[in-house]
Structure 1
Amino acid sequence: MVETFVLADGAATPAGSSRDLATASAALPTGAYTTLRTYGGDGVPFLDDHIRRLEESSALQGRPAPLDRARVRAGLAAALRATRHPESRIRVTFAPPELFASIEAFEPLPDRLYEDGASCVTVPLRREMPQAKDTRFLSPAQGAYRDLPAGVHEGVLVGEDGALLEGLSSNVFAVMDGVLRTEDERALHGTTRRFVLELARGLVPVSLEAVHQSDLPRLAEVFLTSVSREVLGVVRVDGVTIGRGKPGSLAKDLR
């Protein structure tokens, strides 16, 4: 169950319940969004980065508006106290001047998926504005998830040139010829992506250029990053085995 709140003046006012985050988002005005998770019950890492991205996404939508950091923090804290989950997954929607938080209990992915690795397929979907987290992307992304074959964890968006751009709700990284590569200009800059890039630059050479579908047999490893997944190794893309068919060492080190 998802509980939605209106955040205003440091307070959280209940605004309804939904069966899942997709349904909750569909009931709200169109706007910018970001997804958070808690650690230790009420800790939200990189919250300022998430707030800044809400402002940037809203500006790209033609609705520039500032957010008061202290009031957002206070409102989120009030909403978390009201829901009282051990850990929470939160989708914040900014439709100026309104700000909403939809909260559900956070359920981590099974350890087995991290041990064995995930499978992905490419999907015929692209963001209209790659640098903006626009709620209008959520419905087609949800439809793409429903269409994924059984056993496939994530869909990967592909550029006209065959570049692997990003996942439906993740960023995509690949290691080829000893270099960690990820798309830059045509992909959303996730907060976990930024943190992983900072860590990775101390471990391996990094290139902000995507790998392509034709490169799949050459890749030593692939992994996804997102707030909910953190770092998740990928062992197959479009049926092609990545590396040795197990999550790679870099993904394990970064996790």
Structure 2
Amino acid sequence: MEYIYYLNGKYVAADQACLPINDLGIVRGYGVFDFLRTYNKVPFKLREHVQRLQKSAELIGLDLPWSTLEIEAIAQETFNRNHLPDANIRIIATGGISTDFITFSGEPSLIVIVTPVTEYPEAYYKQGVKVITVQTQRFIPGAKSLNYISAIMALQKAKQVNAIEALYVNEHHVLEGTTTNIFIFRDNKLITPKADILHGITREVVLELARNKFDIVEQPIYYSDLNSCDEAFITATNKEIMPVTQIDDLQISNGKPGKNTQHLMHLFHDYTRFGNWS
């Protein structure tokens, strides 16, 4: 199937979607993006994702000329033109062309890429997954920028030990994953970091679903806290809620998904497939 992308005012075949080589997104990695998926052919939390894209752009000093509604409409139309039952939608904004390869020379570029949803193996959710920790931190934590060098390097380390994600750790705290947020349960309290992270849209949905069901504490997670946690899971658009049963060499929840995590997984599934969230 030939996919249709949006690029700077035009809907074009994927193999015809080309940026100028002097675009700041290419020569300097200067830009931001956001990533969402559809459920039942409806983009999930589209407005929240677009608003986060705009916030990311603001944090790196990138002035976007498009309104929230304009970006939403472009994302929706790009999805519609691909005729997929459900899809991933990636919205990218870069600094645009630059004659000196570092300062602005024109308008920013806007790209929307639509691809099929890729499902993770069912075993990841039934048996849990292994993650590792790495000593690093996201560059400008609140911005979902194109700078993913640390993430790529961290995931290479994870792959070497058959882990599916790497968690960022600074001097003392477990912050977030390369593309995920981290949660732990301890004494029936749901704990997740709040500072120095990218606030995921899935993270916010989980917190809303967990409200009135668990005590929620948004606070730093120390590496030592992992030894005393009862359960752990990661969240992301493409992973939803994924139980974690091993962090480095530490076994979590006796090596199987915990009951509280499973409960949230069921709540999230029902909410995304049958809930009134559009």
TM over 0.5: yes
Q: Which residue of 1 aligns with 2:49?
A: 50
Q: How does 1:234-249 map to 2 (within 5 A)?
A: 234-249=244-259
1:119 aligns with 2:159: no
Letter in 1 for 2:38: T
Question: In structure 2, how many angstroms separate the alpha carbons of the residues matched to 1:225 and 1:185?
Answer: 17
Question: In structure 2, how many angstroms separate the alpha carbons of the residues matched to 1:166 and 1:17?
Answer: 36
Q: How does 1:1-255 map to 2 (within 5 A)?
A: 4-6=5-7, 8=9, 12-14=11-13, 16=15, 30-40=30-40, 42-65=41-64, 67-95=66-94, 97-136=108-147, 138-148=148-158, 149-161=160-172, 163-255=173-265
Query: Any stretches of 5+ residues in structure 1 without a counterpart?
Result: 19-25
TM-score, normalised via structure 2 length: 0.80
Question: In structure 2, how many angstroms separate the alpha carbons of the residues matched to 1:17 and 1:199?
Answer: 42
Query: Any stretches of 5+ residues in structure 2 without a counterpart?
Result: 18-24, 96-107, 266-278
**Contact 1:4/1:102 (CA < 8 Å) preserved in 2?**
yes
Question: In structure 1, how many angstroms separate the alpha carbons of the residues matched to 2:228 and 2:48?
Answer: 34
**Contact 1:221/1:247 (CA < 8 Å) preserved in 2?**
yes
Question: In structure 2, how many angstroms separate the alpha carbons of the residues matched to 1:2 and 1:167?
Answer: 30
Deviations 1:11-48 (A, max 9, x none): 63446479xxxxxxx759621111111112x3111111
Question: In structure 2, how many angstroms separate the alpha carbons of the residues matched to 1:17 and 1:152?
Answer: 36
**Contact 1:55/1:66 (CA < 8 Å) preserved in 2?**
no
Q: Between Structure 1 and Structure 2, whose CA radius of gyration is higher?
A: 2
Q: Percent of counterpart pairs with the same letter?
A: 28
Deviations 1:86-139 (A, max 9, x none): 321222112263221122221111211100001100013311211111111x23
**Contact 1:12/1:75 (CA < 8 Å) preserved in 2?**
no
**Contact 1:234/1:247 (CA < 8 Å) preserved in 2?**
yes
Q: Which residue of 1 aligns with 2:104?
A: none
Deviations 1:186-241 (A, max 9, x none): 11100011111111122111111122221222110000011111111100001101
Question: In structure 1, how many angstroms separate the alpha carbons of the residues matched to 2:195 and 2:145?
Answer: 16
**Contact 1:154/1:168 (CA < 8 Å) preserved in 2?**
yes
Number of residue pairs matched? 243
Question: In structure 1, how many angstroms separate the alpha carbons of the residues matched to 2:170 and 2:186?
Answer: 19
Matched position secondary structure for 1:188: coil
Letter in 1 for 2:6: F
- RMSD after superposition: 2.3
TM-score, normalised via structure 1 length: 0.86
Letter in 2 for 1:54: L
Letter in 2 for 1:127: R
**Contact 1:7/1:76 (CA < 8 Å) preserved in 2?**
no
Matched position secondary structure for 2:253: coil
**Contact 2:136/2:170 (CA < 8 Å) preserved in 1?**
no
Matched position secondary structure for 2:209: helix
Distance 1:82 1:27, change over 3 A: farther
